[in-house]
Amino acid sequence: MTAINENFQKLPGSYLFSEIARRVAAYEQEHPDKKLIRLGIGDVTRPLPEAVTAAMHRAVDDMATAGGFHGYGPEQGYDFLREAIARCDYQARNVDIQPGEIFVSDGAKSDCGNIVDLFARENRVAVCDPVYPVYVDTNAMAGRAGDYDEAAGRWTNLIYMPCIAENGFIPAIPEGKADMIYLCFPNNPTGAVATRAQLQAWVNYANANGSVILFDAAYEAFITTPGIPHSIFEIPGAETCAIEFRSFSKTAGFTGTRCAYTVVPKALERGGASLNSLWNRRQCTKFNGVPYVVQRGAEAVYSDEGRAQVRETLDYYLNNARVIREGLTAAGLTVSGGVDSPYVWARTPAGMPSWDFFDRLLRRANVVTTPGAGFGPSGEGYIRLTGFGEATATQEAVRRIKSAL
């Protein structure tokens, strides 16, 4: 009989956002007359920037001609996009990242999950707590997480780094040795950002211990506070210990278009092997690249028009986050995030369990949120709300939540 990967059977229940969708669908079936406002999943609502769609139209026209047609593209991404990324996202910040260190993909979520292919099963994995579930679940699927303790809400072989109000939602460096370290700043779900000094401590730890930092910078474009690093590679020494994931999804509205990139420096080696070469080998084997039309659209993000249009959209979402943050604070909730991030992290009233508060807001306010418990043990007692909705609906959601408290 064919054997299956037993680690999949260890996964608890369903993926967080699938469970949210199930509960919401059940409520909608029971109450078809209710109009829900969705501030849960981090999907965008604004259309693609005009500069992007214009570039994609031109690329579609290219595909209709013999001379402009593109079939299989390079698995690493077209040079025109890799060069634009290197020049605008890194070299403009005095960070020496070269096009050959950039790998274009169909999403940061995919790459955060697929990167585990490079690492041996025995590596110890450290995650922030609360944490984006993909980091945990993909390592559980690969057999690194141990067993799931239902009562404790955690895996036995993962190193959990609590990110709580008492430490400003910034993890402390673990006492033991972590081989793979997931960091996400601006953080999903808490919205916290890390200072240069805080990131330098992690880089120093990783280089001293031979660890690899897996740095999720998908929300870097939302940073507004001066002096906050946008990239781990702004930190001296990061090129020998870090991999960075970035995305056009939240920055430029590509959630349905799919384009992102991962930076693997050529200076990063472990076990005598170049991780840049290993990732290239993995991508060439398992990935056929992002479509030409999509990459031309992503390239347009770096044009003068594209930059201005993207900034307008980012400001729109940040204003929504401000409305949520200020509204819930005025209502008496303890709130953080929503300044350098589209996410607002709110403590539930009177210590109510997060799934209970999720259900209350769904039923009393008809507002969909994300329960903090779904992000890990330290997420219990919180909910996450996103600024990615429509502005008028966001204002109405805050009004409804106030009425439901």
Q: Which residues belong to the annotated binding site for substrate?
A: 15, 42, 109, 132, 188, 288, 384
- What's the token pair of residue 186? 């601006």
Eight-state DSSP code of residue 172: P
Going by the DSSP 8-state scheme, the letter that residue 124 receives in this structure is -
Q: Beta partners for 154?
A: 149
Tokens of 62: 């290219």
Is residue 284 within 8 A of residue 256, CB to CB? The reply is: no
Q: What distance in Å separates the CA atoms of residue 271 and residue 39, rounded to the nearest whole number?
A: 44
The single residue listed with the structure tokens 């507002």 is 367
Pair 357, 365: CB distance under 8 Å:
no
Question: Is residue 380 a contact partner of residue 373, using CB atoms and an 8 Å limit?
Answer: yes
CA 195, distance to chain mean position in Å, is 18
Helix (H, G, I), strand (E, B) or coil at 351: helix
Known binding residues are: 15, 42, 72, 108-109, 132, 188, 219, 247-249, 258, 288, 384
Q: Phi first, then psi: what are they for 43, rounded to 5°? A: -90, 150
Is residue 111 a contact partner of residue 286, using CB atoms and an 8 Å limit?
no
Contact (Cβ atoms closer than 8 angstroms) between residue 392 and residue 398:
no
Residue keyed to tokens 């589209």: 342
Which residues are documented as binding site for pyridoxal 5'-phosphate? 72, 108-109, 132, 188, 219, 247-249, 258, 288
396 Cα distance to chain centroid? 27
Contacts of 6 (CB under 8 A, 6+ apart): none
CB 138 within 8 A of CB 127: no
Number of H helices, E strands in the chain: 12, 17
Measure the CA angle with vertex 252, ends 386 and 76; round to 5°: 120
Which pair of structure tokens corresponds to residue 174? 């673990």
Helix (H, G, I), strand (E, B) or coil at 183: strand
3-state class of 163 per DSSP? coil
